[in-house]
Amino acid sequence: MIQVAQIGVGYWGPNLLRNLIANRRCRVKTVAELSAERRNYVQSLYPAVRVTERVEDVLADPDVDAVIVATPVASHYDLALAALDAGKHILVEKPLARSVAEVAAIGRLAEQRKRVAMVGHTFLYNAAVRYVKKLIDDREIGDIRYIYSQRLNLGRIRSDVDALWNFAPHDVSIIQYWLGDPEPVSVVKRGVDFIQPGIADVVFMNIHYPGKIMANIHVSWLDPGKVRCMTVVGSRKMVVYDDVADNKITVYDKGIDRKAVLGENMDYDGPSYPTFSLRSGDILIPRIDFQEPLKVEIDHFLDCIEKGTPCLTGIDHARKVVEILSA
């Protein structure tokens, strides 16, 4: 039985804690939380868990094998290093850290101490995201032309990070996963701060990959409605992944084909103007067996610790995401 401790139980932390408590492969021994109100909340829900204000109580406890960090990003680096230094495996909420140098330092220490360092890029444990990954890997979609993503809301405004660092770790992580973690050719972004000086509320980011693949990410907490939608346009098919819809995936057999006409334009490289045909075939809404992504994520973390399973969202993936965000 792996003994775990969680640091931070604010807005997102309760989801992690609920899944850790429910998991029979681990036992939550301690929760460290600075806020008395949040400590009381945890204690009232889970009386058997030891609750403390001091992170040191967690780090000094030899019974604790793994530490889950669900605090704001500014504290991730120090907490991750301290936990690794104390010999703990770590699962840190996204993004792992604020710079590539910080991610690299965490990676080095994890390697030295032979401990698992994983980042909570939850969407890679989401069945709909994995369904699209399989479509891409099975060549169902053909060559990827472009991907665009919208992650929009009215609120929850943050003051510690801008909309890019708050939302786009998800989009970047998903796009990198779908494409097989390539190195981008270029990254261009533009954001504007309307509400708090220096903290962009809306950001558009454009990433070019080898093979003329383009990705566009639009994130905002200044938008009329909640949108979590990603579209993948391929040479054979097109896919829409709508995370807030009941049917999350729609696969369109749509595209534009070059048409060969007998006697003319037989050679696509010829000088004459080619003709095109629009293809608009079947639309598939697949049934997806859905499990809570955080449950899958925690099971994967425990597999990495117990069985040495290669980590899907380990240091390499975390570094690429942070590299793109900070480009």
Ligand X SMILES: NC(=O)c1ccc[n+]([C@@H]2O[C@H](COP(=O)([O-])OP(=O)(O)OC[C@H]3O[C@@H](n4cnc5c(N)ncnc54)[C@H](O)[C@@H]3O)[C@@H](O)[C@H]2O)c1
Distance between CA atoms of 209 and 309, rounded to whole angstroms? 29
Nearest approach, Cβ of residue 208 and ligand X (Å) = 26
Mapped onto helix, strand or coil, the DSSP state of residue 222 is strand
Comparison of 68 and 135: residue with beta carbon closer to ligand X: 68
Comparison of 9 and 91: residue with beta carbon closer to ligand X: 9
Comparison of 32 and 129: residue with beta carbon closer to ligand X: 32
Distance between CA atoms of 263 and 254, rounded to whole angstroms? 27
What are residue 228's DSSP bridge partners?
151
Nearest approach, Cβ of residue 120 and ligand X (Å) = 5
Neighbouring CB atoms inside 10 A of 156's CB total: 8
Comparison of 89 and 237: residue with beta carbon closer to ligand X: 89
Comparison of 167 and 178: residue with beta carbon closer to ligand X: 167
Comparison of 177 and 252: residue with beta carbon closer to ligand X: 177
Checking DSSP bridges between strand 222-234 and strand 89-93, what pairing results, if any? Answer: unpaired
Nearest approach, Cβ of residue 95 and ligand X (Å) = 7
Nearest approach, Cβ of residue 163 and ligand X (Å) = 12
- The DSSP-derived string for 156-201 is ---SSS-HHHHHHHHHHHHHHHHHTSPPPSEEEEEEE-SSBTTB-S
Neighbouring CB atoms inside 10 A of 208's CB total: 15
Distance between CA atoms of 29 and 91, rounded to whole angstroms? 16
Comparison of 12 and 148: residue with beta carbon closer to ligand X: 12
Nearest approach, Cβ of residue 310 and ligand X (Å) = 21
HSE-CB of 136 using CA atoms within 13 angstroms? 23
Tell me which DSSP letter residue 33 carries: -
Residue least distant from ligand X (Cβ): 10
For residue 15 the two structure tokens come to 């989801």
Nearest approach, Cβ of residue 81 and ligand X (Å) = 13
- The DSSP-derived string for 45-66 is H-TTSEEES-HHHHHT-TT--E
User: What is the binding site for ligand X (CB under 6 A)?
Assistant: 7-13, 32-35, 38, 55, 70-73, 75, 93-94, 120, 122
Nearest approach, Cβ of residue 57 and ligand X (Å) = 11
Distance between CA atoms of 222 and 194, rounded to whole angstroms? 9
